[in-house]
Structure 1
Amino acid sequence: MNRIRWLALGMSVALGVFGVRLYNLQVVHHAQFAVQSESNYQKDEVVRALRGEIRTSDGVLLATNRLAVDLIYTGGEVGSWDKIRYLAGVQPDQTQGDAPRPPDFSHEREVVLARNIKAENLPALYEYTALQPNLELRERVERIYPQGKLAAHLLGYTAEADESEVEDEGYTLGDLVGKSGLEYSLQQTLMGKNGVRRVEVTATGRPQSTRTVDPGQKGRDVVLTIDSALQRAAEQALREALPEINRNRAKYHSPPEPLVRGAIIALDPRTGAVLAMASSPTFDPNWFSRTPSPDPKAKAAALLSSSLDAVMQNRVVQTYDPGSVFKPSTTLAFVEKWGNRTVPCAPAYRFGSGTWHNWAHYSLGMVDARLALAYSCNPWYYDSAAQHPVEYSNVVAQRVKQLGFGHPTGLELVGEKTGDVPSEQGFLHSDRRDKSWQPGMSLNMSIGQGDVQVTPAQLALALSTILNNGHKRPLTVIRKEGGKVLPPKPVQDVSNGETATFRLVQEGLSMTTSDQYRYATAKHMLGPDFFPVRTAGKTGTAENGLSRKYNYSYTNAFYEGYGPLGNPNFLVVSFFQNGGEGSGPGLTAATKMFAARWCIKLNDRNHALPDQTPCTGELSQMHERMKKDARKAEAEAQAAQ
């Protein structure tokens, strides 16, 4: 009985204690807790919209998103700081050495202590910061480029919106904004719409409950016309050109180049769809889009590169002296207006008080417009311009602009240069001090020299217009937006109602690679004895400021060509700034692109290996292999996250 009494007494005491505590909380301290409850408040947080992904036409992922987590500090005491600092990777200079708490950032609203915290450390960090009202693990969307440098200049890169963009353009701090390339040009397509998450927060800043008010909207995905295998081939061809460029430098006793400055653009002339666009030197967009940068030294070097090296510059849409790759257009313009003519292709041409030289120091015989293209015979062009020196400039300038020069090509890239094709009429209506057009300017213009400035993209558009008999198809790099195939851009007919002259120019371009013509400038690499697919094209070697200052090894090297003859489905323009002769690195790079397109294996002299059957389908074993490599790189990038 005594045990029962003592048990009853103990339970009574315990219930009494609970009762007193309940009275104390609900009655005595009612006002205090009521105030604390009312002190809870709601705040709205941004739900970051995922940026639209970018893929190649064959499905290789070029740009996507990942969630990154940052450690945010808002001031005040922090417990377990040493462990938190270690797990978050906070840099020592942000923690005052071994101090038990972060420094006083009272002059700031909040401070980011660590960016991109390692995924394996997050679970422990969440536990340590759960009871720390002055610390927050905040998620943000980060742009990543799984293929690294692939198509870097075309893609561009993103960065978080700065204060001016927030104030002037309505972005929210932390929004991703395109800074160059398609990321910039397609900002409204890719950016999406942020959502809103409402969080109830206690007076001490601790979250109580969360609900999504507006989930936001993901940006639209974009599929490019780019073929990943051809894009890789273009970038590889640019990299591999350096030894050939430097061998040419050595012949002139010039110092070697440390890097390649050049560009390649390839397209399907039937549609204007760009299949490859590469520029060198190049960069990794991840250097700029990820925080902290995975390679801050390379990022700084890219931004500080000189105007000549210009790592961030897309040379496909920059202007240069074109030289002889301008001749197909001037040939068309002259023959349409004044007809074909045959003249001797002598080593030099006398006009006025000056002497105008050919590339060959010997006679190439009698040439008409077709052989003038095949042999790149400067005297034919000099003599043609000399017949009507002032009118020539106006006729040619007007006609070549119709073919594709002097205006944007249709590429979805903001900032594409339009170039300049001067003329007598243009001088009269310009703000130049000297408005007089000198006859010698027409001779320079006829071979793509003087003040003529064009882009590699414009060369591709003009050549496409010529091989399509005057039907100009604007260039495009976009195949789909938001899952929908974009309609084709309007085709402009600039044939002037006749095609005979177009066919004449096409014949001259095909003779450039024919072994039937002794001085054909591209037959040593693309002739039928060396390459199994018949193509047409034009070499180009352009003088510029450096070549006139130093020597011929500093000229711009171009090649433009297309094939197969009879049914062209591939066109390429290669360019090397200060790269030497067009029949050297320019032609070599184009040959490699043709080989990549038609699955041709080349030997160490860039001649096709014997007994090969070109592939005719849109995909090949090479494409499949390169896609497999791309998927592997994508998986490795995702695993690294």
Structure 2
Amino acid sequence: MTSRLYALMFFFLLAFGLLALRAWQLQVLEHEKYALRSQGNYLKTEGIPAPRGRILDRKGRVIAQDRLVVDLVYEGGEVAFKERLLPLLGLKELPKVQGPTVLKAGVPEHLLPTLAEIAAGQKNLKLVERIERSYPNPISGPVLGYVLQANAEQVKRGYSPDEQVGQAGLEAALEAYLRGKRGVKAVEVNVRGERLRETILEEPTPGQDVVLTLDLDLQRVAEKALEEALADINAGRRSKGLPPATRVKGAIVALNPKTGEVLAMASAPSFDPSLFAKRPVPQEVQTLLKDKDLPLLNRAVQPYTPGSTFKLATSYTLLEEGYVSPFTAFRCSPYIVFGGQVRRNWATRDMGPMTVKEAIAWSCNTWYYQAVAQDPLGVVDRLAARARLLGLGEATGLEIAERTGLLPTRVWKREAFKEPWYPGETLSLAIGQGPVLTTPAQVARMLSTIVNSGEKPTLHLVKRLGPREVKPRLEPIPGRFWTILQEGLRKTVKEGTARHILGSFPVPTGGKTGTAETPGKRAGLEHAWYMGYGPAEPGSPYPPLVVVAFFENGGEGSRVALPAVRKVMAAYWQVEEAQAR
């Protein structure tokens, strides 16, 4: 019996000794290790949102920036002071929710003190700060783009779920520069999960500011010129017995041809980019996404049939490839017959013999038919190659996503349609009809190349990325007849198809009208174009400018696009509109 008692006492002593030894190990030897582990129970790290960089115009005026907004978040259950809260929010009852729900997004500043007083001490009602994109001076939504909270795919790539991400336009194209680097903070909470204090471990780094080449004043003029063109479009439709249009669909691009800086880029119809930044995203966004007129589409960089603006590329090709000389004359007849088909001019009268300069000025279709009919199968591939040299059918260099269009060749048709190129197709191509497609931005670049006497600019919408200036780039293009093309463009205004609008304009300009037929559409629904530049004579004190206006199914270029270009020119050179008429 005694031996059993001794054994039991030894067992208990050993057990207590081991417990004491373990306690000494935990409290003395491993104190620091477990102190830190214990601290982790009430310290957690959270990300600190980084503001996106600002977008500014060339004069430093803010187009887009971040702002701090406050949301009222409700997590369900009973709320004190409900009789005060509900009228402030315009509610009759609190919603039945499971989990956090925003009762009021973007609380107005005058309500913040009252709501803070009501929410104080209530676990299920709190004011939460977040960063929201705002647009103090918004420009065309299709150009500027918009931001949305990161989706699942973007979260996988390293974005935070609450981070704003550029989804289109400049906001998307400049994402790498505008996006900042998130900070980190340590948050101390008690056992009930209540926040006690915060310590910033790493400050957030804001995104870089981006200065655009756009001029807000000229941008607004271009956007207004698009809107005001609706009256001219409908006047043309009435004359053709067509129903009126309810919205303008088109684009205007204005740039400095010497540098490639885009001074204005407007697209219609447009939208308010701030709609996408709101939380929750309003119903208007779904309406925009379903709109058949595609208001999210930037028409300045979408390809369309160029019509007679393409005749400058044809003229360049004919001269440089030796098909015509500056003195070669063809009769501008009302029509010609080629391959058994009647090919008509826009004018029903015989306009007499013309050289290439008069053909440009009067946009004579039959002159171009006769010129390319000399070698209809040989000229088509040369025309595509020369047009590309001028900047058509290729990216312009713009920072935003753009389509490249189409310059058809014999090989392209054989591969695409398994049939040969027919001679008659070259006649259509020569006047900018058929499968050829170019964007308004490309047409502006082509005109810039011609007025620069063969210096093709790279177009750009960005003037400065953070501290780095974006330098202009010019590419020399071979050519011997730039002066002839410039004289043809000048004749268009002095005596040709643009004389009625710009003939008495105070600044000497040149340009080219364009009316592009659209397959399956009635007369009066053509695409309307005008490309113009100035000053078109040496010694003028005015700064250089190229403007292209395009209207989808707008009708005649001289009726619709030409007046829109005149408005932009008058504003840029500060010429009174009454005087410009």
* TM-score, structure 1 normalization: 0.81
In the alignment, which residue of structure 1 is the partner of 2:334?
347
What secondary structure is seen at the aligned counterpart in 2 of 1:452?
Answer: coil
Q: C-alpha offsets along residues 514-541 of structure 1, whole Å, 9 cap, x if unaligned?
A: 14xxxx10111111xx211110100000
Q: Which of 273, 278, 285 in structure 2 is aligned with 1:285?
A: 273
In the alignment, which residue of structure 2 is the partner of 1:628?
none
Give, in whole Å, the separation in 2 of the partners of 1:121 and 1:459.
52
Do the aligned partners of 2:458 and 2:472 also contact (CA within 8 Å) in 1? no
Do the aligned partners of 1:601 and 1:608 also contact (CA within 8 Å) in 2? yes
76 and 38 in structure 1: CA distance in 2 versus 1, 3 angstrom threshold: farther
Q: C-alpha offsets along residues 449-492 of structure 1, whole Å, 9 cap, x if unaligned?
A: 00001000000011111111211111001001113322333x22
**Which segment drifts farther, 417-426 or 297-306?**
297-306
| Structure 2 counterparts to residues 197-212 of structure 1, below 5 A | 197-212=185-200
1:492 counterpart = 2:478: no
Structure 1 position 311, deviation (Å): 1.0
In the alignment, which residue of structure 2 is the partner of 1:100?
none
Match of 1:443, as an amino acid? Answer: L
In the alignment, which residue of structure 2 is the partner of 1:563?
534
In the alignment, which residue of structure 2 is the partner of 1:51?
52
Match of 2:123, as an amino acid? Answer: P
Match of 1:44, as an amino acid? Answer: T
Do the aligned partners of 1:133 and 1:204 also contact (CA within 8 Å) in 2? no
In the alignment, which residue of structure 2 is the partner of 1:623?
none
What secondary structure is seen at the aligned counterpart in 2 of 1:562?
Answer: strand
Give, in whole Å, the separation in 2 of the partners of 1:423 and 1:443.
13
In the alignment, which residue of structure 1 is the partner of 2:10?
none
| Structure 2 counterparts to residues 545-624 of structure 1, below 5 A | 545=519, 548-551=520-523, 553-566=524-537, 569-603=544-578, 608=580
In the alignment, which residue of structure 1 is the partner of 2:515?
541
Structure 1 position 84, deviation (Å): 4.4
Structure 1 position 199, deviation (Å): 1.1
In the alignment, which residue of structure 2 is the partner of 1:243?
231
Q: C-alpha offsets along residues 32-78 of structure 1, whole Å, 9 cap, x if unaligned?
A: xx9xx979612222211111111111222110111111233455664
Q: Which of 251, 260, 265 in structure 1 is aligned with 2:253?
A: 265
In the alignment, which residue of structure 1 is the partner of 2:42?
41
1:452 counterpart = 2:436: yes
1:435 counterpart = 2:415: no
1:423 counterpart = 2:409: yes
**Which segment drifts farther, 565-574 or 173-182?**
565-574
Instruction: Give the length in aligned residue pairs.
Output: 538
* TM-score, structure 2 normalization: 0.89
333 and 138 in structure 1: CA distance in 2 versus 1, 3 angstrom threshold: same
What secondary structure is seen at the aligned counterpart in 2 of 1:254?
Answer: coil
Structure 1 position 116, deviation (Å): 1.3
In the alignment, which residue of structure 1 is the partner of 2:368?
381
Q: Which of 318, 323, 337 in structure 2 is aligned with 1:334?
A: 318
Do the aligned partners of 2:249 and 2:269 also contact (CA within 8 Å) in 1? yes
In the alignment, which residue of structure 1 is the partner of 2:135?
145
Structure 1 position 229, deviation (Å): 1.4
Structure 1 position 419, deviation (Å): 0.2
RMSD: 2.0
**Which segment drifts farther, 125-134 or 338-347?**
125-134
513 and 433 in structure 1: CA distance in 2 versus 1, 3 angstrom threshold: closer
What secondary structure is seen at the aligned counterpart in 2 of 1:511?
Answer: helix
Match of 1:419, as an amino acid? Answer: G
Do the aligned partners of 2:75 and 2:97 also contact (CA within 8 Å) in 1? no
Structure 1 position 550, deviation (Å): 1.9
In the alignment, which residue of structure 2 is the partner of 1:479?
463
Give, in whole Å, the separation in 1 of the partners of 2:257 and 2:552.
25
Do the aligned partners of 1:53 and 1:190 also contact (CA within 8 Å) in 2? yes
In the alignment, which residue of structure 1 is the partner of 2:214?
226
Q: Which of 468, 484, 489 in structure 2 is aligned with 1:509?
A: 489
Q: C-alpha offsets along residues 72-122 of structure 1, whole Å, 9 cap, x if unaligned?
A: 3455664444544555x38557x24xxxxxx351xx5x4334321222222
What secondary structure is seen at the aligned counterpart in 1 of 2:271?
Answer: coil
In the alignment, which residue of structure 2 is the partner of 1:25?
none
Give, in whole Å, the separation in 2 of the partners of 1:246 and 1:502.
37
Match of 1:51, as an amino acid? Answer: R
Do the aligned partners of 2:457 and 2:472 also contact (CA within 8 Å) in 1? no
Q: C-alpha offsets along residues 308-356 of structure 1, whole Å, 9 cap, x if unaligned?
A: x211111100111110001111100111102322110000011011011
Match of 1:325, as an amino acid? Answer: T
Q: C-alpha offsets along residues 150-174 of structure 1, whole Å, 9 cap, x if unaligned?
A: 23222111111123322x3221111
Q: C-alpha offsets along residues 430-460 of structure 1, whole Å, 9 cap, x if unaligned?
A: 3x23331011111111000000010000000
1:412 counterpart = 2:399: yes
Match of 2:189, as an amino acid? Answer: V
Structure 1 position 383, deviation (Å): 1.1
In the alignment, which residue of structure 1 is the partner of 2:12?
none
402 and 79 in structure 1: CA distance in 2 versus 1, 3 angstrom threshold: same
What secondary structure is seen at the aligned counterpart in 1 of 2:217?
Answer: helix
523 and 313 in structure 1: CA distance in 2 versus 1, 3 angstrom threshold: same
In the alignment, which residue of structure 2 is the partner of 1:156?
145
Unmatched tracts of structure 1, length 5 or more? 1-33, 97-102, 610-641
Give, in whole Å, the separation in 2 of the partners of 1:75 and 1:241.
53
Do the aligned partners of 1:51 and 1:65 also contact (CA within 8 Å) in 2? yes
Give, in whole Å, the separation in 2 of the partners of 1:190 and 1:258.
37
Do the aligned partners of 2:508 and 2:537 also contact (CA within 8 Å) in 1? no
Q: Which of 115, 121, 137 in structure 2 is aligned with 1:131?
A: 121
What secondary structure is seen at the aligned counterpart in 1 of 2:314?
Answer: helix
Give, in whole Å, the separation in 2 of the partners of 1:46 and 1:132.
24
What secondary structure is seen at the aligned counterpart in 1 of 2:272?
Answer: coil
Q: C-alpha offsets along residues 200-239 of structure 1, whole Å, 9 cap, x if unaligned?
A: 0112221111111111100000111011111111111111
268 and 39 in structure 1: CA distance in 2 versus 1, 3 angstrom threshold: closer
| Structure 2 counterparts to residues 11-22 of structure 1, below 5 A | none
Give, in whole Å, the separation in 1 of the partners of 2:181 and 2:418.
53
Do the aligned partners of 1:90 and 1:114 also contact (CA within 8 Å) in 2? no
